[in-house]
Amino acid sequence: MKYNELNAEEERVIVQKGTEQPFTGKFYNYDESGTYLCKRCDTPLFRSDDKFDSNCGWPSFDDEIEGAVKRVPDADGIRTEITCANCGAHLGHIFLGENYTEKNIRHCVNSISLNFISEKSKSEKAIFAGGCFWGVEYQFQKVDGVTETSVGYIGGSKTKPSYKEVCTGTTGYAEAIQITFDPQQVTYEKLVKFFFEIHDFTQVNRQGPDIGEQYRSVIFYTNENQKETAKSVIKILIDKGYKVATTIEKADQFWDAEEYHQDYYNKTGGDPYCHIYKKIFDKKN
């Protein structure tokens, strides 16, 4: 079975059955509506409607998605561990009889063991810059769950920049792609990992033969969850020994590029010259 790549701290908790520090997890005081997934295999585990505040320092749920969570007697003979029924990832522990809710059950879960999919909308957006936007768009159009793509410019200050202006390398803009995706089909984390697998993220202000700040590698995040996810994936790459030149920046105005740039390779029938897919994150267990 193939699982998502984990950084060192995620490995310590999820595989080695550790515990994150209380009151530090990103989902402890988190009240957005949606579904919590296993960080290791993306299996849906808990619904936000079943989350409650127990003041214990970790996310608490009084119910689980049917069949998603397995109970295992702890080695200390006192507590009961809960794991992902699909991949065995350590989630935390379960406690009964505390009378926090009518169901009288508390799944005490490490935030680091979870991913989250929002129910605010049926689709979300992601923005990536990694060299010539023709090739980046070509690769992302192959990803299941990506419903729309648009190439354009982001990161500068001039209103409605043109391709000619951006090509001077003096506007602050980067050639980028804005993706609309269905989070029920593909997670943001998988999109970030795919981004790193289709360009050379070790190069500074260039991608292959294309040189200039407009070809720099950037993840433009649209919310804090995207920012933390991007940081987590970059940590995995650093742990692997890569020198990552990619920066993480808050997204501002995205300007669509001229029409002839949109869907370029499908229009012309060509192939990307410096965006070749190379698997990095595939891990067998």
Residue 284 lies in a domain: no
pLDDT tens-digit readout, 193-249: 999 999 999 999 999 899 999 999 999 999 888 999 999 999 999 999 999 999 999
Last residue of a domain, one of 73, 96, 118: 118
Catalytic residue among 87, 108, 167, 274: 108
259 and 275 housed in the same domain: yes
What lies within 8 Å, CB to CB, of 114 at 6+ separation is: 27, 36, 37, 38, 39, 45, 46, 59, 91
Residue 23: closest CA among 48, 1, 49, 54: 54
The reply to whether 160 and 81 lie within a common domain is no
Tell me: do 140 and 82 sit in the same domain.
no
Residue 285 inside a domain? The answer is no
Instruction: Tell me whether residue 108 is one of the annotated catalytic residues.
Output: yes
The reply to whether 98 falls in a domain is: yes
What pLDDT is attached to residue 156? 94
| Number of domains making up the chain | 2
Which pLDDT belongs to residue 120? 64
The total number of residues written for the chain in this structure: 285
Same domain as 133, residue 207: yes
Give pLDDT tens digits for 32-44.
Answer: 889 999 999 889 9
38 catalytically annotated: no
Prediction pTM value: 0.62
Domain residues for the domain of 99 are 2-118
Residue 104 backbone phi and psi in degrees, to 5: 60, 35
Which residue numbers in the chain have pLDDT < 70? 1-2, 120-122, 283-285
Choose the catalytic residue: 38, 84, 87, 132. 132
* pLDDT in the model for residue 121: 57
Residue 38 sits in a domain of what CATH number?
Answer: 2.170.150.20
Q: Looking at the structure, tell me whether residues 88 and 37 fall in a common domain.
A: yes
Whether residue 91 sits in one domain with residue 135:
no
CA distance 279 to 230: 18
